[in-house]
Amino acid sequence: MEEPGPAAAPPEGRGRDERSLEALSLAGGGGAAVAGRQLSEGRRATLASALELEGTVLREGRLTQFVANNLERRIRLSGAPRGEPPAGGGGSSIPAIDPGALQDVVALAGQVAAQVDELLRNVHCGLQALTALSVGCIQTYRDGVESLGEAADLSIRAMYALVARCEELDRAMQPVPALAKRIRDMKGTLERLEGLCK
């Protein structure tokens, strides 16, 4: 009996598409009589050559990457129920649209639109309230600044008036030292007169 060679071509059609890496590795296992490193290298080489028939093999050092051909068709076949032939010989099949799902989507879209409208109304009301509060704060600040300016102006005018009154008082008090001297002289004269009378 002859064993099939390691580079035997995989079967065509759906069987080829459904062939897994495990099946390829078992097919490349061949005779298990060879031991050690030669067996692992032989399996790796056989597996790589079999994978090259199924897709693209990239090697980076000890890392091997595999990209399968017709990946979309393989995914579609893996998701199809067993016993049901694949639709349309490789073409993409569009599933039927469920009217109930469309009605649910329309209802949900209406709910989302209503919620968005309500959210926008709330945001609008909040912004109006914040704007009114900001305007009130600005007006209060303006009134405070104006009243502070008026108070500062009145204070400056009162200070000038006080300085002027002080200057007038200073001018009015200029004869006081001479008057005080005269009073002292009169007091001394009176004291002398009292001394003479005793």
| Residue matched to tokens 């200029």 | 174
Mean pLDDT of 38-43: 52
Quote the pLDDT of residue 107: 92
Q: Which residues contact residue 14 at a Cβ distance below 8 angstroms, ignoring those fewer than 6 apart? A: 77, 86
Asked whether the predicted pLDDT for residue 6 surpasses 70, the reply is no
pLDDT digits (tens, 9 = 90+) for 148-160: 999 999 999 999 9
- The predicted structure's pLDDT at residue 117: 96
Mean pLDDT rounded to a whole number for the chain: 75
Query: Mean pLDDT, to the nearest integer, of 102-117?
Result: 93
Q: Extract the tokens encoding 45.
A: 């080489």
Instruction: Over range 124-134, report the average pLDDT.
Output: 96
Cα four-point dihedral sign 100, 101, 102, 103: positive
| Beta strands 63-68 and 55-60, pairing class | antiparallel
Residue 93, C-beta contacts closer than 8 angstroms, at least 6 positions apart? 87
CA-CA distance, 143 to 151, in Å (whole number)? 12
d(CA 28, CA 45): 8
